[in-house]
């Protein structure tokens, strides 16, 4: 009895000889289990579950799923791969983004989840298309990170939420790699470990020699990540006494920057002033009121009550700098800027304008169409304008890089300021109207920004979670959400740079280039095999 040799299908990928017919129900159940496991592991690696070890193996079930599909004949396997990948993506993103449901309802939550899940579908389809060609594990890791880079740029400026690298925010041997290669470098290390683990499973019956390469990768990747990360920059020896104030029960005010009705704005400012009162006995060098604390046009003479609240707070602080989240009218009707600015007796100075504004949350693309949506009253009445690249601000003698809310999700928005010479980083955010898991995920982003930049980070949330983060990503003084609180520390000033600050993002472009070359080679190889 002879065995038929392996054959190439029309895609050019080598297909194993046909074995015993397997039950289609059995195959579907197996693939359902693998897709579900991948989605659950991806979700569990992030807050609120926050099982960092899940990030090391999260995409391994997707690779096993892809290998299962490679054995199928015909072009429909790529479509099936995309379908299973989309399912895994929805299992991942629907619970990850549950914080969106209280704000916009079911439709925006599911639409955004579907858009993000499409990249997981593309990942599984791409791995199946690559098939048994050489370097499948390496190309799988590269392809995953390339799709993360795409997700961080499109559509509408991108939404880089849930990157694999963020699963390592609480420490471990992979986190230091962010100091050299950024969060995408950490994602690449996680994807590489998962690819090696999948290869180990696939080669389990092939003998010790076949297992040597994946075992070596599982050992080498964490060691290399730790070594390449190095140590944070050396502090200057100077410190800055910084306090960030968190208001009480701000969920009752709906402090989201959407409804700017006067009583609500004044109520927020009153609660921020009240929360500041404990600092009067010993005012810090710098006090921070986070995003939307003064949520109306402060320089408008008509806003007398709002200005009086800020004046009382400045008196409590003995006239020392108060850096607060505010609002400025834009150059055209129904436009505005979200800002952080130093509040003085003469108005706002050292104004930082938010660089990255949130589609639908802060500005409305295709407004005439979206205003037909049944929950259109929750859409912002005016459109926030992006502030563009800006220099750091100088407060109490320190140069401070500022990131407002969505800015902190984009490493480049922080890195551009740090490159200009900064001593620390301030992240100012308002997550009041969203679900609780968003605040925990947002803190994780700031932990990565701290490691990437080598700076101490003051993560200030108007309603929490707030915390102080050191350059190794460790959090101290973490507050409870929706509770009145103050975080305060003599923050060490760190003027130096990290390799990531100097080099910028090399991993994203590199994986995109390698993925494009891989796609081109696959097409050429398919043509050669078929022709």
Helix (H, G, I), strand (E, B) or coil at 236: coil
CA neighbor of 95 nearest in space, from 42, 35, 152: 42
Neighbours of 233 (CB within 10 A): 17
What is the pLDDT at residue 187? 98
Sort strands 467-469 and 475-476 into parallel, antiparallel or unpaired.
antiparallel
Give the pLDDT confidence score for residue 373 in this predicted structure. 66
420 vs 7: CA distance, rounded Å: 58
- Give, in order, the Cα–Cα distances in Å from 210 to each of 6, 190, 214, 322, 388: 20, 22, 8, 63, 52
Cα–Cα distance, 41 to 44 (Å, whole number) = 5
CA geometry: angle at 340 spanning 336 and 345, to 5°? 100
Q: Report the distance separating Cα 24 and Cα 12, nearest Å.
A: 24
3-state helix, strand, coil in the chain (%, to 5): 50, 15, 35
H-only helix segments in 287-435: 304-316, 367-370, 411-418
239-497 CATH pick, 3.30.1360.120, 3.60.110.10, 1.10.3720.10, 3.10.129.10: 3.60.110.10
From the list 225, 333, 321, the residue with the least C-alpha distance to 276 is 321
Q: What is the mean pLDDT of each run of 10 residues along the chain (531 residues)?
A: 44 43 78 97 97 97 95 83 97 95 79 95 96 94 98 92 97 97 98 97 89 95 94 96 92 58 81 96 97 87 87 95 93 91 91 89 73 66 87 96 95 94 96 86 97 98 95 97 95 96 96 96 84 62
Run of H or E including 186: helix 178-202
The pLDDT value given to residue 104: 65
Contact 268, 260 (CB under 8 A): no
Burial bucket for residue 61 (CB in 10 Å: 0-12, 13-18, 19+): buried
Q: Which residues pair with 491 in a beta bridge?
A: 240
Q: What pLDDT does 6 receive? A: 45
CA dist list (Å): 450 to 108, 202, 266, 353, 507: 31, 38, 33, 21, 18
Query: For residue 4, what are its two tokens?
Result: 């038929």
Residue 3's pLDDT is: 44
Residue 314 confidence (pLDDT) = 95
| Model pLDDT for residues 100-109, shown as the tens digit of each residue | 887 667 888 8
Q: What is the pLDDT of residue 14?
A: 40
Kindly state the tokens that stand for 357: 């504004």
């Amino acid at each position: 009895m002879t065995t038929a040799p392996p054959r190439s299908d029309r895609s050019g990928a080598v297909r194993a000889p046909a074995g015993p017919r397997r039950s289609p129900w059995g195959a579907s159940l197996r693939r359902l289990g693998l897709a579900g496991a991948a989605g659950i592991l991806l979700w569990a690696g992030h807050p609120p579950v926050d099982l960092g070890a899940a990030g090391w193996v999260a995409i391994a079930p997707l690779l096993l799923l892809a290998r299962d599909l490679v054995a199928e004949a015909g072009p429909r396997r790529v479509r099936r791969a995309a379908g299973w990948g989309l399912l895994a993506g929805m299992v991942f993103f629907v619970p990850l983004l549950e914080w969106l449901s209280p704000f916009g309802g079911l439709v925006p939550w599911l639409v955004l989840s579907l858009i993000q899940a499409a990249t997981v579908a593309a990942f599984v389809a791409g791995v199946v298309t690559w098939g048994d060609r050489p370097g499948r594990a390496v190309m799988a890791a590269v392809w995953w990170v390339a799709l993360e880079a795409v997700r961080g740029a499109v559509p509408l400026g991108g939404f880089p939420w849930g990157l694999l690298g963020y699963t390592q925010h609480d420490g471990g041997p992979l986190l230091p790699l962010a100091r050299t290669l950024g969060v995408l470098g950490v994602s690449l290390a996680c994807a590489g470990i998962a690819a090696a683990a999948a290869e180990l499973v696939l080669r389990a019956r092939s003998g010790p020699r076949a297992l040597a390469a994946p075992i070596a990768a599982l050992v080498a990747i964490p060691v290399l990540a730790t070594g390449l990360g190095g140590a944070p920059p050396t502090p200057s020896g100077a410190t800055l006494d910084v306090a960030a104030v968190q208001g009480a029960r701000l969920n009752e005010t709906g402090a989201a920057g959407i409804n700017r009705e006067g009583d609500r704005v004044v109520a927020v400012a009153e609660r921020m002033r009240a929360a500041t009162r404990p600092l009067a006995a010993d005012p810090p060098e710098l006090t921070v009121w986070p995003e939307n604390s003064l949520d109306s046009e402060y320089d408008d003479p008509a806003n007398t009550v709002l200005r009086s609240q800020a004046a009382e707070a400045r008196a409590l602080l003995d006239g020392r700098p108060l850096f607060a989240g505010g609002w400025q009218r834009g150059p055209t009707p129904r436009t505005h800027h979200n800002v952080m600015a130093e509040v003085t007796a003469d108005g706002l100075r050292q104004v930082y304008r938010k660089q990255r504004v949130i589609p639908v949350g802060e500005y409305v693309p295709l407004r005439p169409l979206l205003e037909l949506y049944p929950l259109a009253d929750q859409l912002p009445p005016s459109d926030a304008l992006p502030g563009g690249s800006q220099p750091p601000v100088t407060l109490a003698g320190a140069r401070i890089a500022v990131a407002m809310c969505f800015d902190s999700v984009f490493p480049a928005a922080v890195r551009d300021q740090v490159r200009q010479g900064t001593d620390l980083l301030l992240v100012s955010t308002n997550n009041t109207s969203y679900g609780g898991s968003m605040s925990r995920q947002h803190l994780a982003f700031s932990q990565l920004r701290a490691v990437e930049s080598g700076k101490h980070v003051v993560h200030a949330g108007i309603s929490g979670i707030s915390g102080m983060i050191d350059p190794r990503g460790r959090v101290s003084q973490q507050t409870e959400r929706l509770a009145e609180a103050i975080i305060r520390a003599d923050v060490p000033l760190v003027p130096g740079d990290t390799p990531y600050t100097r080099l910028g993002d090399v991993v994203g472009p590199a994986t995109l280039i390698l993925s494009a070359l891989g796609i081109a080679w696959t097409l050429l190889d398919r043509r050669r095999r078929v022709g």
